[in-house]
Structure 1
Amino acid sequence: MKRVLPSDVSVLEQIGIDLRLLKTIQPSKRSHYRAVANWLTQYRPTNEAINLEQVRGGIEAFHHLCEVRDWLGAKEIINLRCNTPTYEKLHHQLGTWGYQRERILLYERLLGHLEPAWDVIWLDNSGIVYCALGQYQTAIDYHQHSLELAQQMNDRKAQARSLGNLGNALSYSGQYQTALDYHLKVLAIARETKNRPMEATTLGNLGNTYEAMGEYQQAIDYYQNSLAIAKELGDRHEEGRALGNLGSTCEALGRYQKAIDCLQHSLAIARDLEDRSGECSTLESLGTVYEALEQYEQAIAYCKQSLAIANEIGDRAVEGLSLGNLGSLYEILGDYDQAITFAQLSLAVARDIGDPEGEARALGNLGSIYAAQEQYQQAIDCYYNSLIIARTIGDPQGEKRALGDLGGIFYAVGDDDQAIHHYQQSLTIAKTLGDPVSIDSISDNLAIIYYSLGQYEQAAECLRQSSVRKDISARNQSGRSDSTG
């Protein structure tokens, strides 16, 4: 079995430990240095050891060095290159494997004990970890502190890195326009300095923000540019990320086979690189695609795989997504008790980590389950609360979805005026976003209502807006529809 970390005397030399001089060290420190030497040269994980145990020797050595305030040696430990497919430094490798909380412990111990340039790095990485854990405001605080230090040092590259990470955290918390401003600044710096890896990453970040805003074509353009640079550089991690993002956006546009192709390719890369976090999010995305294709058992299988990994690595944002998707799937299958349980767990996660977009999505899922059980007032309450959150954080996609849900529920209870009012607002947003799938669905629903009211010209106009062109007469004979946009 290959060793992930170097385990010979050379690594001791790298951190400044000479075994021949241990006897000259004062006894209170000597035991810690002996422990460092033993952990680095004698520790042997078992063949069945999980990834974290593979690098246990390095982590324990790090903490012993911190106990004797050997900060330089501790820094060298977590910067050791790992014998893994990504050949990352130890602290980054922990993130790839999904051990985010373990990373935080490393950064907390080193903060304030080395030169300011290192504090910028530790603060920035801490922010990345808190973002991965869904604690977005904490992430923003760390990145802002990092940016301030980088500005004081007049370190442009560090400033760009902090700005990009801050943009990501702001985007996750729903502050899209500010996030775009930061990412565009970073993109300008990357192109001016001809930093191609930074350019690829920033293009992907811009795509993420535009996707969150529902501007899918712009997102796709950025993802494709990021993918092209990643392939040019041979950066498989960035390639996998770009493919996963493309898959997610294609799914939102109803291009399901393209979505599956991108996501399966992304999943293969994540597994090759032992990227547990990437594997987790890609599995969740595949579950969403198969749900859209009405292949529910396969969708459930993907979501459960994603949930298991999310729980294992502590990725609460993906945990909330997977729980919500499972709730939706069990609703479709008519298992409402299971559906409500998963939807409520998803809502609890979103509120616990301060994820307003996730909270709005979970409330929408709950509303759908209540509507399916004809508990209409509970459904309306959930949809309105979801709408309020979407408008508060400037999430047009969430706003469009909540308005469409409200249109559907008002039609179900026979309030045609309110149904038309909410559907029209939802349709306006869908057109602004250039979302053809939603335009078709909402126009179709409006046509049904107008036809039932005898307003045939309005019904015909709605059908002209829809590429679906379904036979409205046949559907009208089947009774009132409760479908939503």
Structure 2
Amino acid sequence: MTRQSRSLPRYDTDSPASSSIALRLEGLHAAATALLHTDPRRALPLAREYAQQAQTVGSLVAQAKAEVLLGQSLLVCGELPEALVRLRVAIQLYGELADPLEQANAEELAGKVCLNLGELDEADQLLHAAINRVSHLQNIPAQATRATALNHLAGVQHTQGKVAEALTSLRRALNIWEEQSHFVGQIYCLINLGNIQTWLGQYSEAVASLSQAYTLNQKHLNDSRSQASVLHNLARVHYLKGDSDLAIELMHSACQSAEITQDPLIQASTQLNLGTFYLETGQFLEARTHLEAALGLSRQTSYRAGEMSTLDSLGLLAEQTGDMAEAQQSYQQALEIAQEIGDPQGELEARLHLGKLYFQQRASSPALTQLSVALELAVQTQSPKEEGEIHEALLQLHETQQDFQLALHHATALLRIERELFNAESDRQTRNLSIQFEVERARHEAAVYKLRTEVEQEARQAAERLVQERTSELSRAQHEVVTRLAMAAEYRDDTTGEHTRRVGRATTNCPRPRLVRTAGRRARHCGAAP
């Protein structure tokens, strides 16, 4: 069946009515696109109107563009499920149109939505499809789509625990953006790179990546969305480094930038982290305020990963304030969401917290169940800190049950992990010290080189002055020698010497008229022709 077999009304672009519709469509598309990141709530109704108009036109191209625009608007407004529906339609339409670049763009956007919804398998499939679809195209738009898809794919891989693959994807994306001098792309790659470096405990490297992103934004963009993301991640790094006051200050700034963007996903994320910081510092009232705000924003936008993390933090808050029933309920809801969206790290944390809570309540059997599954997840996701925490909890549990053989097993495993963590931390500190030493040595060498250069320059200038002086002296000496040689030659030449003496004697014997008249005649004589 050919494409002409579709029952679509004919769109005559030559008629005055159709020209008016075309202009109307172009105006709606331009207006919605302009508002997309500045005022998304105003962009959304324009995008819906554009989609309705495109349906009446009967053009596949117009309909496909409308689905993408509406999907983007819904994504920015946080209405993720409907955004995914629209983008799936756009993927199908561009497939029928045999337009690989636009189809890849729709797949990349749909992959981003799936990532935010926690549907990691579908996100992985869509993003790989987008990357492969434009792999043979070398033009700038195709490479931009490929880099964006790689950036989102790194987020999927990191969530799945594939850290090495995530780093590879990010570096590939960053190289493309650097080649194109695309600052927005560079900033978001650096943010994600800093996020992974933070997760790996490479705090100095993370600060360097995020500071580079912040500088790029301040110098070239001054974009609130980028600024919120950079400040958000910088706050997390400083919090993990132990500077809670600076972390809270930076996260407050991130929240202010997030408010300007009107993006509920960014707002939810910054509120969640600010609430967590307050929770960890024992400021429970402030923690609850920000965590409940994050939970509301996450549920409003179907941001399941954010909802899961917020529930887990609210469980910790309830546990620390003595409300064990609320804590258990929050942990259980977080666990269910983690299983629903396939997030092993989220499931690990929820099971760990549930297991420890059950142990505190002397419910040994459910505690053992949760902690055993959590241990498997910790090994699977390569999370040594959580693994050590689980071994410690299991050690205490088996001691209370007087199962000393299993207690010894977990004690041995805990000791091994603590040594590994200590060695890793020592290696990290040694590496950081080595870097600092190399930096200081480079500064010292630069200072020495500068001083040596200045000394050499002064010496060169002094030598040049001495050469000039000696050259002048030599020139004067040569002039004197030539003069003396000329005089000597005059005295040796009898004819010339006699002539000179005769002229001298004649001059002395001449009468002396008045000076003024003699001078005047001499002047006129000298001015005459010979």
Query: Structure 1-normalised TM-score?
Result: 0.73
Partner of 1:59: 48
Contact 2:228-2:258 within 8 A present in 1 as well:
yes
The structure carrying a bigger helix percent of its residues is 2
Contact 1:406-1:422 within 8 A present in 2 as well:
no
1:260 to partner: Cα distance: 0.5
1:421 and 2:421 aligned: no
In structure 2, relative to structure 1, the CA distance for the partners of 1:16 and 1:229 (3 Å cut) is farther
In structure 2, relative to structure 1, the CA distance for the partners of 1:17 and 1:412 (3 Å cut) is farther
The one-letter code matched in structure 1 to 2:231 is: L
In structure 2, relative to structure 1, the CA distance for the partners of 1:258 and 1:252 (3 Å cut) is same
1:64-83 CA deviation, whole Å, 9 max, x = no partner? 5247542333455567xxxx
Partner of 1:147: 131
1:285 to partner: Cα distance: 0.5
Contact 1:287-1:300 within 8 A present in 2 as well:
yes
The one-letter code matched in structure 1 to 2:172 is: K
Contact 2:231-2:250 within 8 A present in 1 as well:
yes
1:138 and 2:125 aligned: no
1:180-210 CA deviation, whole Å, 9 max, x = no partner? 1111122223333433322221111112222
Question: Partners in 1 of 2:338 and 2:178 — Cα distance?
Answer: 37
Partner of 1:120: 104
Identify the match of residue 129 of structure 1 among 113, 121, 125: 113
1:172 and 2:145 aligned: no
Identify the match of residue 88 of structure 2 among 84, 90, 108: 108
Question: Partners in 2 of 1:413 and 1:211 — Cα distance?
Answer: 38
What RMSD over aligned residues (CA atoms) do the two structures have, in Å? Answer: 3.4
Partner of 1:198: 185
Partner of 1:471: none
Q: Which moves more between the two structures, 409-418 or 421-430?
A: 409-418
1:364 to partner: Cα distance: 0.9
Structure-to-structure mapping, 1:157-306, within 5 angstroms:
157-233=144-220, 234-306=222-294
Higher relative contact order (CA 8 A, sep 6+): 1
Contact 1:213-1:397 within 8 A present in 2 as well:
no
Question: Partners in 2 of 1:19 and 1:323 — Cα distance?
Answer: 58
1:340 to partner: Cα distance: 0.7
Q: Which moves more between the two structures, 252-261 or 124-133?
A: 252-261
Contact 2:224-2:260 within 8 A present in 1 as well:
no
Question: Partners in 1 of 2:356 and 2:56 — Cα distance?
Answer: 54
1:430 and 2:421 aligned: yes
Question: Partners in 2 of 1:434 and 1:420 — Cα distance?
Answer: 21
Give the count of matched residue pairs: 397
3-state SS, counterpart of residue 379 of structure 2: helix
Structure-to-structure mapping, 1:273-352, within 5 angstroms:
273-352=261-340
Identify the match of residue 62 of structure 2 among 58, 65, 73: 73
In structure 2, relative to structure 1, the CA distance for the partners of 1:137 and 1:157 (3 Å cut) is same
Query: Structure 2-normalised TM-score?
Result: 0.67
Question: Partners in 2 of 1:95 and 1:173 — Cα distance?
Answer: 23
Question: Partners in 1 of 2:426 and 2:262 — Cα distance?
Answer: 35
3-state SS, counterpart of residue 394 of structure 1: coil
Question: Partners in 1 of 2:159 and 2:391 — Cα distance?
Answer: 22
1:112-136 CA deviation, whole Å, 9 max, x = no partner? 4342111111000000000011111
The one-letter code matched in structure 2 to 1:102 is: E
Question: Partners in 2 of 1:377 and 1:226 — Cα distance?
Answer: 49
Gaps (5+ residues) in structure 2? Answer: 1-10, 30-38, 428-530
The one-letter code matched in structure 1 to 2:418 is: L
Q: Computing the radius of gyration over CA atoms, which structure comes out larger, 1 or 2?
A: 2
The one-letter code matched in structure 2 to 1:188 is: N
Question: Partners in 2 of 1:365 and 1:17 — Cα distance?
Answer: 64
